Amino acid sequence: MFEFLTWLEGSALGEAMRGMGVWSYGVFNLAHILGISTLFGSVVLIDLRLLGLWPGVAIRSIAGPAIPLAATGFVLAALSGICMISTNATEYDGNPFIFIKFPAIALGLLNVALVSAMSAWKSARTGEPSQRERGQLAVAGGTSLACWLTAVAAGRMIGYW
């Protein structure tokens, strides 16, 4: 782990980040926050709907606009996060919240892949899922919410270690 962090800090990206002046980290941090809020704000809408809130609103009506927004937020958070971590990567060595945040993100992404392959999700995107499918979608929505909440909480805690 330390070898990887040392390599990242010494990379061209790390050097560029450190050479950009005092405001650069703050600007990337701002981009990170905008990415996280766009991602989480969209995901929470989809997940709460999958958990059964707003039954009068079709899942596809929420998923249509929220999925591309969530994906945009994720890309922004990931790109800005990589730039931020490369600035002083070795300082994160031994930080336990890293080992909570990144597995939570990986699980959240795995959940997206699994949900996309579910027949229940396909029914929800094209019409009305059955009662059994609604149960499966609620489990997926709860899992997703737990993963992204954990990622946000652990991400915030990294700086306090």
What are the contacts of 78-84 at 24+ separation with CB within 8 A? 78/35, 79/31, 79/35, 80/28, 80/29, 80/31, 80/32, 80/35, 81/32, 81/35, 82/13, 83/13, 83/17, 83/28, 84/17, 84/25, 84/28, 84/29, 84/32
Q: Which of 51, 57, 81 is nearest to 158 (CA)?
A: 81
Query: Would you count residue 69 as binding ligand HEM (CB under 6 A)?
Result: no
Query: Would you count residue 28 as binding ligand HEM (CB under 6 A)?
Result: no
Choice from 85, 112, 115, 140 touching ligand HEM (CB under 6 A): 85
Query: Would you count residue 82 as binding ligand HEM (CB under 6 A)?
Result: yes
- Minimum Å distance from CB 70 to ligand HEM? 10
Choice from 5, 8, 17, 39 touching ligand HEM (CB under 6 A): 39
Query: Would you count residue 105 as binding ligand HEM (CB under 6 A)?
Result: yes
Which positions lie near ligand HEM, rule CB under 6 A?
29, 32-33, 36, 39-40, 74, 77-78, 81-82, 84-85, 105, 148, 151-152, 155-156, 158-159
